[in-house]
Amino acid sequence: MSVEHEPIGGGVARRTVLATAAAVPAAALVMQSPAHAAAPNLTITLEPLEGGSARFLKLAPSTALGSETAKLIFRLTITNNGPATVTVTGITFTFPGSGVANKVMQGVKELFSSQDNTIAPGATKNWSNGKTTVNNVSVDNAVYLGVPAPAQIRALVTCSGFADAAQSSALSLTAYVCPKAGGYPMPFAVSDMRVGEVMAARGEHWANGGSGGTQIYAHDVGVKGWDQVAGAWSDLLPGTDGTANEHFRIWNKPVRAVAAGVVVERFDGMPDNTVIGQLPNPTPNPVDGNHLWIQHGTELVRYTHMRNGTIPASLTPGTAVTQGQILGRAGNSGNSSAPHIHLEVRREGTWALRPWAQGSAWMVAQSSNTPFNPDSSAWLSAGGRGIPNTTMLIWPAATKPTWYPPGKKEITIYGVRLADYQTVFNRVTAVGYRPVWFDGYEVGGATFVNAIFRPTGGLGWIARHGMSLADLNAELSKYRTEGIQPVNLASYMNGSTVQYALCGVYQAGPDWQAYGGKTGATHQSLFNTYTGQGYASLNISIVSPGNSPQFSGLYVKQNIGGFVAASWLTAADYQQQWNDNYEAGRYLFYLSACQHNGAPMFSAIFASSPGGSGGTVGRHHLDLEGIQANLISWTDQGLVTRCIAGYDRSGVANFAVGWRNA
C-alpha cells in the first residue's frame, strides 16, 4: 500500500488545516476550574461531537467471526482562561460510571503543534490523541475499547504548578452515525476492478494530521489483485516492478463521488510524481495535489492525489455532483510516494474531523483471504462501520463478492483445466455474462480451456462442451429447429478423443451452415461450396488426432468484407499471413491451434470488415505471465479480446491472442 508523508518544521507529519474550528457551545462541554485555582482555568471541548455527544467509531471486525471494537480518537480544543501562561503536562480520558480504566496519554508535548505545550492567556490550542513520530520516538494514543462502549467520557488536562486537573464536562459517548444512510461507499465501482482485484485499506492512518488530528480517521486506499502466476496479492500489475505509475493497479482508475453533493474546492494541473518510493522535494503545494473537496450533506469529503488533467473542467466550486459520477482518475500528484487516493471527512462549517464510515462494501482481512476466495464465510458487510486496523480487502459493492466482477465489457479466462471449467463457467455466467468463445488445448497430456464471456444483453443463450461428433450434429439440428443462432464452434482434444463445444443465442439471424470432424479434402470442398453461395467463414477449428488433421467450420451469410481463411499454418506461416493481410487491410478475427507431429499448427481468418473499429493487435507465443500482462494492458486501453488459442510449445503452455476495438 502506498503512503503519503507531509513533514513540517520539527519533523512532525501533518496536513494543512483548511479552516479554524468554529466554537462549540461551552455549556454542554465545559467545567472550569474552581476559584482557588487548584486546577488551571481551562475550557476543554472535544471533537467529533454530534448532538452534544462525543462520538466514537465502531470498527467492523476483521472477519465475520470477529468482534466489533470502539475506536476513540478526539481532537481537544483547549482555551486558557487564566491570567498566566500554562504548560500542559498530562491528558487523561476517564469513563465515569464504568469499570473501564483511565486512559493516560503518552507524548503529550509531541502532539501539540511544533511540540509547544504552553498556552498563553486567552489563547487556544488543539491536541489530539493520534499518532506521530518525533525524534525517532513513536507515539500512538488511539484508544480501543470493547463494544458496547462506556456511556460517558471526560477529558482531564493537567498543567505544571497545579495540583488538580482541569476537566471537561462528562459527555455522553455514543457511536458515530454517517449522515449518508448506511455509510459512504468506496469511490470506485466494482466494474472498475479487473478479475481478482479489490480495494485495499487499513483503518490506522500513518499520521495524526497535526495537532488538529485531521488525518487520524483518514485512509490511504489502493487496489490489490490476486496474481495467479505469482500466487500472491500485489498492488502492481503482473510483469511490472513498481518503478512507474502505470505499474500500479489503481493508476488511472475512475474516482467516483461517494454521494450526491456540491464541489467546494478544486485544484488540477499539478504533474504526477515520476519517482516512485520517495516524496517530492520540495514539498508540493498543495500537498493534496490534484484534488476536490465535495460537500455531501453536512460533511465534506476530500479526494486527493488525482492524475494530472483528469478532473473535469466543469467541476468548479458550486457545481452539483451525483453519486457515482466520475470526478477524475487515480494518480500520484502532490506529496505522495506512489499512486493511491487519500480519503478523509470533515464537518461542515467547523472542518472538524469525522470518521470514515464504510458503507456499500464487503470486507475481509487480507491474511484471511489468501488466495482470493469470494466464497469464504470470513467476508462481512461493512454496514456503516469503520475499517479495522489491519490490511483489509474491500469489495466495493453492496452485493456479496463474486469471482468475477459484474458490469465489464468482457471476462476472458485462460489456462483453466478442463475438469475445472464447469465451475468457472458457472461463476462467470452467474454474474450476467454469456460465452462467445471456447478454445481447448493440451499441454503435458492434460486438457485446458480458454474462453471469452460478454454481457448477456438480455439475450437468452445456450452453450455445451464435451460433445462427441454425434452430440454436435444433434445440437446443430436443435439450433435449426429452435431458431438458435450459433456464435462459436470449437473442436479440441481430450486425451485421444476429439470433443466439441458450441454456443449460441436465441435470436433471429442470418442463415448459417456448420460441420465438424471433416478431413482436409472434405473441408476444402465444403468451404468452396459455402463461400461460393455467399456465406462468410467465421470458424475453422482444427485438431489432429493421431496426427491426422480434422476441420470443423461455421459459416454465416453476412458481410465481413473480403476475407482470407488460412487453416493449416506453421507459426512462421501464421506470422507471414498476419503481415500480408494486415498490409492489405484485413484484420484477424478468428484463431485456432492444435498439436501436429509435436509442433503447433494454426488456423486463422482475416477480414476487411470483421466488426469493431481500427486495426487488430495480435500476439502469439505468450506464456502464462505474458498473456496475463498483455490481456490487462490491451483491455485497459479499451480493446476487447476477439480470439484466443492455446497450444503446447516445447512442453509449455503458450497462447496466441487477437484484440480489437469493440
| Residue 34 pLDDT level (bands cut at 50, 70, 90) | very low
**Worst-scoring range by mean pLDDT, 206-210, 291-295, 317-321?**
206-210
pLDDT of residue 615: 86
pLDDT tens digits, residue range 533-554?
999 999 999 999 999 999 999 9
pLDDT tens digits, residue range 365-409?
999 999 999 999 999 999 999 999 999 999 999 999 999 999 999
Same domain, 383 and 452: no
Tell me if residue 422 falls in helix, strand or coil.
helix
pLDDT of residue 131: 83
Query: Rg (Cα) of the chain, in Å, rounded?
Result: 31
Instruction: Give the domain-ending residue among 346, 363, 395.
Output: 395
Same domain, 385 and 429: no
**Worst-scoring range by mean pLDDT, 36-40, 213-217, 369-373, 565-569?**
36-40
Same domain, 146 and 238: no
Nearest CA-CA partner of 607 in 549, 576, 566: 566
| Residue 252 placed within a domain | yes
Helix ranges (DSSP H) in 488-601: 520-532, 571-583
pLDDT of residue 94: 98
**Burial status of residue 128 (CB atoms within 10 A of its CB: 0-12, 13-18, 19 or more):** buried
Same domain, 33 and 154: yes
pLDDT of residue 662: 84
| Residue 247 placed within a domain | yes
Q: Is the pLDDT of residue 474 over 70?
A: yes
Mean pLDDT of all residues in 129-154: 91
Q: Report which secondary-structure segment, H or E, holds 631.
A: helix 624-636
pLDDT of residue 319: 98
| Residue 24 pLDDT level (bands cut at 50, 70, 90) | very low
pLDDT of residue 136: 81
| Residue 405 placed within a domain | no
Q: Is the pLDDT of residue 314 over 70?
A: yes
Extract the C-alpha cell encoding 198: 479489490
Cis before 238? omega within 30? no
Residue 159: CA count within 13 A, CB half-sphere = 23
| Residue 211 placed within a domain | yes
Tell me if residue 546 falls in helix, strand or coil.
helix
Same domain, 633 and 553: yes
Same domain, 473 and 569: yes
* Strand ranges for 384-460 from DSSP E: 392-395, 411-417, 433-443, 446-455
In DSSP terms, 453 is beta-bridged to 411, 435
Q: Is the pLDDT of residue 33 over 80?
A: no
Cis before 282? omega within 30? yes
pLDDT of residue 32: 40
| Residue 614 pLDDT level (bands cut at 50, 70, 90) | confident
Same domain, 230 and 315: yes
Residue type, 594: C
Extract the C-alpha cell encoding 80: 486558557
Q: Could you give the percent of the chain with pLDDT greater than 90?
A: 88
Nearest CA-CA partner of 41 in 127, 162, 154, 153: 162
Nearest CA-CA partner of 539 in 465, 505, 489: 489
Range of the domain at 298: 190-395
Q: Is the pLDDT of residue 18 over 80?
A: no
d(CA 333, CA 274): 9
Same domain, 164 and 207: no
Q: Is the pLDDT of residue 2 over 50?
A: no
| Residue 1 placed within a domain | no
Higher-pLDDT residue of 373 and 133 is: 373
Residue 167: CA count within 13 A, CB half-sphere = 14
d(CA 44, CA 168): 5
Mean pLDDT of all residues in 475-497: 98
Q: Is the pLDDT of residue 27 over 50?
A: no
Same domain, 252 and 340: yes
Q: What is the CATH number of the domain that holds 233?
A: 2.70.70
Q: Is the pLDDT of residue 138 over 60?
A: yes
Q: Report which secondary-structure segment, H or E, holds 476.
A: helix 469-482
d(CA 429, CA 452): 11
pLDDT tens digits, residue range 340-365?
999 999 999 988 999 999 999 999 99
Q: Is the pTM of this model over 0.75?
A: yes
d(CA 287, CA 422): 50
Whose cell is 455467399? That residue is 534
Residue type, 520: G
Same domain, 492 and 575: yes
Same domain, 171 and 145: yes
Q: Is the pLDDT of residue 470 over 60?
A: yes
Same domain, 476 and 535: yes
Residue 411: CA count within 13 A, CB half-sphere = 27
| Residue 443 pLDDT level (bands cut at 50, 70, 90) | very high
Q: Report which secondary-structure segment, H or E, holds 655.
A: strand 652-661
Instruction: Give the domain-ending residue among 367, 395, 423.
Output: 395
pLDDT tens digits, residue range 36-75?
479 999 999 999 999 999 999 999 999 999 999 999 999 9
pLDDT of residue 406: 97
| Residue 208 pLDDT level (bands cut at 50, 70, 90) | confident
Report the number of distinct structural domains present in the chain. 3
In DSSP terms, 566 is beta-bridged to 604
d(CA 104, CA 157): 10
Instruction: Please state, rounded to an integer, the average pLDDT across all residues of the chain.
Output: 93
The contacts of residue 198 (CB under 8 Å, 6+ apart) are 223, 224, 225, 372, 393, 394, 395, 396, 401
Q: Is the pLDDT of residue 639 over 80?
A: yes
pLDDT tens digits, residue range 517-537?
999 999 999 999 999 999 999
| Residue 209 pLDDT level (bands cut at 50, 70, 90) | confident
pLDDT of residue 15: 31
| Residue 400 placed within a domain | no
Instruction: Give the domain-ending residue among 175, 199, 230.
Output: 175
Dihedral sign (CA 632, 634, 637, 640): negative
Q: Could you give the percent of the chain with pLDDT greater than 70?
A: 94
DSSP 179-243: SSTT-BPPSS-GGGSPTTEEEEE-SS-S---TTTTTTTT-EEEEEEEEETTTTEEESB-TT--SS
Q: Taking a C-beta distance cutoff of 8 angstroms, is the pair 86, 119 a contact?
A: yes
Cis before 286? omega within 30? yes
| Residue 403 placed within a domain | no
Mean pLDDT of all residues in 98-122: 95
d(CA 75, CA 68): 23
| Residue 312 placed within a domain | yes
